[in-house]
Amino acid sequence: MVHFPTVDGVVKATDGLSFDLEKGKTLGIVGESGSGKSVSSSAILGLHRKTNAQVSGEILLDGVDLLQLSDEEMRLRRGKEVSMIFQDPLSAMHPYYTVGNQIGEAYLVHNKVSKKAARARAIEMLDRVGIPQPDRRVDDYPHQFSGGMRQRAMIAMGLINNPDLLIADEPTTALDVTVQAQILDLLQDLQREFNSAVIIITHDLGVVAEMVDDVLVMYAGRAVEYGPCKEILTHPEMPYTWGLLSSVPDVRGDVNAKLIPIPGNPPSLLDPPPGCMFHPRCTHRDKVPGDLCRTELPELLPGVSGSGHLKRCHLANPDEIYATEILPEIAPDMVEEK
Amino acid sequence: MDQTPTTDPTPGSPAGTGPTPAAAPTTASGTGTGATSVSNVATDVHHEARTTANTDAVLTVENLKMYFPVKSSGILRRTIGHVQAVDGVSFQLPTGGSLGLVGESGCGKSTTGRLVTRLYEPTGGSIEFDGRDIAHVSPRSLKPIRREIQMIFQDPYTSLNPRHSVGAIIGAPLAIHNILPKNKILPRVQELLEIVGLNPEHYNRYPHEFSGGQRQRIGIARALTLQPKVLVADEPVSALDVSIQAQVINLLQELQREFDIAFLFIAHDLAVVRHFCPEIAVMYLGKIVEIADRETLYSRPHHPYTQALLSAVPDVKQASVGGRRERIRLEGDVPSPVNPPSGCRFRTRCPMAQEICARVEPPLLQIGQRHKVACHFPGELGKAPDKPITARLLGVDDSGSADPSAGPATDLGNGPGFSDTWFDLDRKTMAKA
C-alpha cells in the first residue's frame, strides 16, 4: 500500500496490491497514467520519501522484507539486487557526466574495485548491450547518444551488477518502433543470460503480449485483473481490460474493427468512487443485480476460467459478454476462427 | 459529396446534441456497447477510400523540399551545411479524404505538415491548394489561406495558452479574421465546444482545469473554428492515455464526415494511421519510400523499410501464441539528414542493398493502381526480384553505371497522384488499368 497524505486528503496511490514473481520470469503491469503502476515500482526500490509517503505491507525480495530495512541497508541493495530502467533516458541521465562514468558508478558503489576496473566493466556492458565502438563511446556524454543508444546505456547501467530484479518503467515508450524492437530483443536476451526477474511497466498491450509471462492490470491503485499473459489477453474478464483492448487499433487486425473508447476520465485518487472504482466508466454495470457495482468493492477473486486468473468484478458471466458483445466489435476476424 | 465544405454547423444541424453526424447509417448497425456519445458511431463511410479520381484533390504537393541551414559556431555563423529535412516529397490529398504520413522520428513527417500549413516556407517545390500555389505567397496573402488549412498539435499541454480562457482560445480565430461581430463570438464558441463533446458552459475556464483528452478537444475546436478544408493533425493522440486516444480518434472521424474536412494525419503509430487513413505514405529520411492504399500497404508492402517497420510493431494477438514474432532487424540508426547516403537513402540499413542502390536514387515508381514504391528491388517480403527492375527505366545497367545501350530514361511520372498506367512487376512493362 502506498498512500500520500496531502493537504486535500490522503491519495491512495496504491491500495492492497499483491503479486509475486519468480527468477527469470517477467511480469507486465498495465494501466493508465495515475493508476499506480510507477508508484508501486518506486516502492519496491524504496524511493518514496518517508516524510510524504506512507508505505505499508511487505515487499519480500529473496525472503528479505525491503520495507523493514534501514535506509543504509536499502541503499546497499538498490542498484545491486534491484535496479530500474526509466522511461526517458535523457532526463534519467546526468548531462554533466560521461555515460561511462555513470554506468561505472553503479559498479563502483557496490563493489570494491578501482575506477579503472569500473571503467573496463562499463565498456564491457556497453559492448554487451550492442553499442558500437564501446571503448570510444564510453567517454561520450548522454546528449551525444541517440535515443535508442541512451536506452541501451540505461539497460547497461541497470544490469551491471547482475540484479535479481529489474524494473523497467515504460522502457520503450519514447522510442520508435524499430528501436523499440531492438531494445525489447536486447532486454529479453539479457534476461535469459542473467536470469533476472523483470517487471515491465507499460501501457502498450502489444509489448505485454510479446514480452511477459504474467500480467497485472491496474486501475485507480488496485489490481483489477491478474494472471498469465495468454489468459488475460485472450479471455479478459474485467470490463476495464476490455476497454484497454478495444481502444487501441490493431496493426494487423480487421480494418473494419471499431474503436470503443472507455468513456470519461480516470477517477481522482483523493476521492475515489464508492463501490467498484471502475463503475462510473463501466458500460456493463447495470448487468449486475442489486446495484452492487455502485455500493460494494469487488474482491480480487478467481475468474470463470480458472484459479490462476484473478479479476476484480461483480459480473457473473464475463466470458460470455466478452465473446458475444466485445470481440465481434473489436476483432471480427478473431470471432470466425472459433 | 452530400455536404459542401462550407456548411455551417448551425444549431439546426444535428450537432446540437453533441457530435451525432447527420448521415449516420452506422448507428443503426451499432451495437449498444458504445461508450460515449462519440464512441459508437464508427465510420463505414469513412472506410470507403475516397481515393479515386486525381482531379478532386484539395491539396497537391509536388517535389516539396525543406533544407534547414546548419550554422557554424563562432561569430560569423557561416552556413556549413543543410539538414535535408524534406527532400522532394509529392502527394495529393483528396477533398474530404485523409492521407496518413508515417515514419520514425526525424523522417520529416512533421516538417511536411508544417510546410503544408505554411508555418515554414519551403526551400523548393510547390503546394497547390484550391488551384493556387501557396508555397511562396507573402505573409499578408497567407492570412485567408490560414482559414482553410488548420492544424491540430501533438501536445495539448503546450499548445494552449495557459493564461487565456477556453472561450478566448477558441474565439480568437473569429476575431482575428473579422468573421463575426464580438457579441456573436460566444454563442459560436459554445457551439464548437458542444461539437467536440465538451460542456458549453465551460468557456470561461482555463486549460489547466481540463484533462489531457479534454484539452485536445479544445485544440480541435480551435482548429474547427474557421471551418477549414484541410486539417493537418500532427500526432494528435500520441500524448494521450490509451483509453482517451480512442475517444479523440472517433471524434476526428466524425468531424471529418460531418464537415467534409481533408486530413493530413501525421503519426508514428502505424495502427492508428491505418485505422484513420485509407491512404498512407511511409517516409524515411525526408523522402516518401512507399505510398499506397491501406490494404496494400499493410498486407503487401513492397519496400524493405515498410516491411521492417511493420514487422517491428508488437502485436496483442501474439499473446495467444506466446513469445515474440520473427521480425526483420534493422541494424544501426537513421543516418544524418545533413549528409544523407548517396543513391537510395535507406541502403545503409537495407538487407538487400546492392551496388546500384549506392549509385542511383530509386524513383517513386507506380507499381499498382494506387501503389508507389521507391526501391530498385521492390517486392513482397521474400519475393524481391534478383535484378533491379528500375535499371532499364533509368537508362543504367544492373550495377547502376550509365548504360549507353539502354534507351533514354522513361518518364516515370514522379509527380503527385496516381496515373492510369503503371509498371507491372510481373510482366516488367508498363501496364494499363
Instruction: Give tens-digit pLDDT for A216-253.
Output: 999 988 899 999 998 898 889 999 999 998 888 888 88
For an interface test with B, which of A137, A185, A258 has the most B Cβ atoms less than 10 Å from its Cβ? A258
**What's chain A's average pLDDT?**
86
Model pLDDT, residue B412 = 62
Residue B211: which of A147, A210, A265 has the nearest Cβ? A265
Q: Which domains does chain B have, with CATH numbers?
A: 25-284 (3.40.50.300), 315-432 (no CATH)
- The 3-state DSSP class for residue B181 equals coil
| Single-letter code of the amino acid located at B8 | D
Tell me what pLDDT residue B18 has. Answer: 39
A255 to chain B, minimum CA–CA distance in Å?
7
Evaluate whether B59 touches B262 at the Cβ level (below 8 Å).
Answer: yes
Per CB-CB distance under 8 Å, the chain B contacts of A203 are 241-242
Measured between beta carbons, the chain B residues lying within 8 angstroms of A249 are 249, 271-272, 274-275
Whether A248 sits inside 8 A of B104 (CB atoms) is: no
CB contact under 8 A, A263 and B247: yes
Q: Residue ranges of chain B with pLDDT lower than 70?
A: 1-55, 323, 404-414, 433
- Please state the separation of Cα A174 from the chain's center in Å: 15
pLDDT at A2 over 50: yes
Question: Which residues 6+ apart lie within 8 Å of A165 measured at CB?
Answer: A21, A44, A61, A81, A82, A83, A196, A197, A198, A199
pLDDT digits (tens, 9 = 90+) for A180-192: 888 898 889 889 8
Query: Residue A208 — φ and ψ, nearest 5°?
Result: -60, -50
Cβ contact, residue pair B34, A260, below 8 Å: yes
Q: Which residue of chain B is at minimal alpha-carbon distance from A188?
A: B324
Q: Measured between CB atoms, which of A147, A255, A258 is closest to B295? A: A255
- Maximal C-alpha separation, chain B: 75
Q: How far does the CA of residue A77 sit from the closest CA of chain B (Å)?
A: 31
Q: Against a cut of 0.80, is the pTM above it?
A: yes
What residues of chain A lie within 8 A of the CB of B312, using their CB? 177-178, 180-181
CA distance B390 to A295: 69
Contact B317 A148 (CB under 8 A): no
Residues of A numbered 195-234 whose beta carbons fall under 8 angstroms of chain B's beta carbons: which are they? 203-211, 229-230, 232-234
pLDDT the model gives residue B420: 80
Using a CB-CB distance cutoff of 8 angstroms, which residues of chain A are in contact with residue B105? 147, 176
The pLDDT of residue B1 is: 39
Torsion over CA of A244, A245, A246 and A248, rounded to 10 degrees? Answer: 80
DSSP secondary structure letter of residue B358: H
Q: How many CB atoms lie within 10 A of CB A132?
A: 12
SS3 of B315, please? coil
Q: Which residues contact B194 (CB under 8 A, 6 or more apart)?
A: B15, B16, B18, B200
Domains in chain A: ranges and CATH? 2-212 (3.40.50.300), 228-337 (no CATH)
A251 contacts A207 by C-beta, under 8 angstroms:
no
B220 vs A254, residue with greater confidence: B220
Q: Do B40 and A260 touch (CB under 8 A)?
A: yes
Bridge partners (DSSP) listed for residue A223 = A218
Q: Which residues are within 8 A (CB) of B279 and not within 5 positions of it... i.e. 6 or more apart?
A: B49, B51, B97, B98, B99, B100, B291, B292, B293, B294, B370
pLDDT tens, residue by residue, A11-66:
777 888 888 888 899 999 998 887 888 888 888 888 887 777 888 888 888 888 88
